[in-house]
Amino acid sequence: MLFSTSPLIRQIFIHGSSERAFLLAVIVPTPAAIDRARTTCEDLKPIISESLRRIARDADLKSYECPRDFLLETTPFSPENNLLSDLRKPSRPRLLAHYGARLERMYTELAEKESRELHELRHTGKRGPVIDIVVRAARALLGCPAGPEDHFTELSGDSLSALAFSRLLGEIFDTEISAGVVLSPVNNLRRLANHIKTALDEGAATHTFAEIHGTSERQVRASDLALDKLIDVKTLAEAETLPCRRGPVRTVLVTGATGYLGRFLCLEWLKRMELAGGKVLCLVRGESDDQARKRLEAVFDSGDAELVEHFRGLATDRLERS
């Protein structure tokens, strides 16, 4: 079992319920781990929690695949206490019979705690520093410790939980925050809080779904996606009179280049601009040009060394990142 590779864990029993969105566990720490805690076994919980999250991140597990909380047991599972079979393998029916009631109580307590915290955030969360509220909301939603420098995905957040998180923050601050902003590789919780502060101080700089379609709408039809919803009438009218570009194309803007299909589009335009002596501009999120370049290059590094070298050769003189 993956989590049993932790040097702090001697034995682990992971429990899940079809009625719950997260896992729990029973963990028997190693003697060395107990010595490390020095006082009571409960002092081990933060240390073991961090070990579980680190293993989950390294293995690219989803948030629901990592136990949110666990019981600590000082007595190892064994055939003598009927928790291991005669072959010294965990007996899940016996483990569930032994710990099931305590695990269900833990499920109930965690759900009640989360409900109280989310209710408080929705009704009084706006009172206080934005960064503190964002961190509290992440802790409540994901059920794990969080800090300002943590990225949402590093806390085992995924696209579904990012959507829930963006809606929660939208309710708290009464402003629309997209899941894309939450998941952006350049936005840790502190930068996300700064994004919210800017939106509150200056107002939204771009059009939002709610602004165009209303707060109660949950779907959009193709006929709703009209240019006059996004661009003023005067600009649209003048667009027809603007001079057309003549001559060969020598500058191409590519968005979505870090996606599966986008990388092939980027590569194709790099080939064309190599022949035309032009440039390809790629919009890639990153704290710096170097980080953006590394993110873009990483999508070509899928095990095909020839493809990576082909991209690097074309990108040397023809690629610009913004």
- Provide DSSP, 169-214: HHHHHTS---HHHHH-TT-BHHHHHHHHHHHHHH--SS--HHHHH-
Q: Which pLDDT band, with edges at 50, 70 and 90, does 321 fall under?
A: low
Question: Number of H helices and number of E strands within the chain?
Answer: 12, 6
In this prediction, residue 272 has a pLDDT band, given cuts at 50, 70 and 90, of: very high
pTM above 0.75, yes or no: no
Mean pLDDT of the chain: 85
Give the residues across from 9 on adjacent strands.
29
Residue linked to tokens 């999250």: 53
Percent of the chain with pLDDT over 90: 30
Which own/partner pairs from 255-258 qualify as long-range (CB within 8 Å, at least 24 positions apart)?
255/282, 255/283, 257/282, 257/283, 257/284, 257/296, 257/299, 258/284, 258/295, 258/296, 258/299
What stretch of H or E contains 14? strand 9-15
pLDDT of residue 302: 76
Place of tokens 């200056």: 202
SS3 label, residue 277: coil
Tens-digit pLDDT profile for residues 99-123: 999 999 999 999 898 889 888 888 8
Q: What is the pLDDT of residues 293-317, one digit of tens each?
A: 888 888 888 778 888 888 888 888 8
Interatomic CA distance for residues 220 and 209, integer angstroms: 9
